Amino acid sequence: MPQGARRSLGPPRAGLHRSRGVVVSVTYKDYYAILGVDRKASTEEIKRAYRRKARELHPDVNKSPRAEEQFRDLNEAYEVLSDPEKRARYDRLGANWKHGAPFEPPPGFEGFRVHVGGMGDLGDIFGSAGGGAGGSGFSDFFETLFGDLGLGGFGRTRTHRPRGRDVEAEVEFGLSDLLHPGPRRITVGVPGAGGKVERKTVTVNLPPGLRPGQKLRLPGMGGGGQPGSPRGDLYLKIRLRPDPAFRIEGDDLVTEVDVPAPLAVVGGHVEVPTPERPVRVRVAPGTSTGTTLRVRGRGLPRKDGGRGDLLARVRLVVPKHPTREQRELYEKLARLERS
């Protein structure tokens, strides 16, 4: 190739855009469909739709594998449609685009650019070329259309700075914390300056339906990034403090209840422990060891506002030191069994 000649990259393909020799693939996002509103929706309707869907899709509540991605798209859609300038620019694209289809802005479309300031930025762009959020927290589609607007006012180009790394820590809660969701003050170790771990006391909200092994996300409390870039997130993995009386099976609490052998034969009632107070439960005649007595609505809170059940496993007991009268009765029963 002659000195000074430029290598041709060929014509741009659908779904690709070019800025200073950098080619980035983007896909179209239908922000109205993401929010579930009509293109003529008012600002108030958009706000209500966002709040409703944010409750459904928040990763701390929705454990779907795609919940975090959908929540990110939801925030991005609201960022655009709640801002008159961004919404007007987005609407000028027209309504004929299909969500997820390859996207190339019309010729001369305003805001169509990718800011490239050096090799560090190039790495950020190629690292998110599949349509991810990159360092800014927004998709390449968003950056393509609104890169010149940013989030802090008109005319400011967004600079791609990778945010800090996400950090995971374990935190222990008791059964009563899962039974009574709500705010809790906890102390956790978070990455500080120079990589040192700092102890911080924070308030976390325990949602209904929280279970051991699940994670709570604390935005902006993870590792630090480059100067001026946002911190990563802190994920708290829930560990349950062992409880002497109950264990968890899904939404249900499981315990054991002792039932005297004669009562198991003829039937009656026993007291079953629950986290609040004991309740009397009927024992059917002929109950055997391992039978489950169910107390409805005394288990763990669920996301839908209901509660699981308490399951009491029957354990038959016989007297270790029977009285003379008890011994005579058991001997009589034994003779009847042999006859």
**Of 56, 302, 59, 312, the residue nearest 179 (C-alpha):** 302
Helix (H, G, I), strand (E, B) or coil at 60: coil
pLDDT at 113: 37
pLDDT at 15: 39
- pLDDT mean over 163-169: 80
Topology at the third CATH level for domain 247-338: HSP40/DNAj peptide-binding domain (2.60.260)
pLDDT at 246: 97
Nearby residues of 73 by Cβ (< 8 Å), 6 or more positions away: 29, 34, 139
Tell me the pLDDT tens digit for each residue of 2-60. Answer: 444 333 333 333 333 443 333 344 678 899 999 999 999 999 999 999 989 888 888 77
**pLDDT surpassing 70 at residue 120:** no
Residue whose tokens read 């896909």: 27
DSSP symbols for 247-286: EEETTEEEEEEEEEHHHHHH-EEEEE--SS--EEEEE-TT
329 or 146, which is more confident = 329
Tell me the pLDDT tens digit for each residue of 190-218. Answer: 766 666 777 888 888 899 999 999 998 88
For domain 167-240, give its CATH number from 3.40.50.1370, 3.40.50.360, 2.60.260.20, 2.60.130.10: 2.60.260.20
Nearby residues of 205 by Cβ (< 8 Å), 6 or more positions away: 60, 181, 182, 183, 184
255 or 110, which is more confident = 255
For domain 16-146, the CATH architecture is Orthogonal Bundle (1.10)
The two tokens of residue 39 are 């293109």
- pLDDT mean over 279-303: 95
Mean pLDDT of the chain: 76
Whether 238 and 211 have beta carbons less than 8 Å apart is answered as yes
Q: Where is average pLDDT lowest: 4-18, 118-132, 297-311? A: 118-132
Give the rounded percent of residues in the chain with a pLDDT score beyond 70: 72
- pLDDT mean over 325-336: 87
pLDDT grade for 96, boundaries at 50, 70 and 90: low
pLDDT at 55: 84
**Of 281, 146, 224, the residue nearest 138 (C-alpha):** 146
- pLDDT mean over 114-126: 28
- Which residue intervals of the chain bear CATH 2.60.260.20? 167-240, 247-338
d(CA 337, CA 261): 15
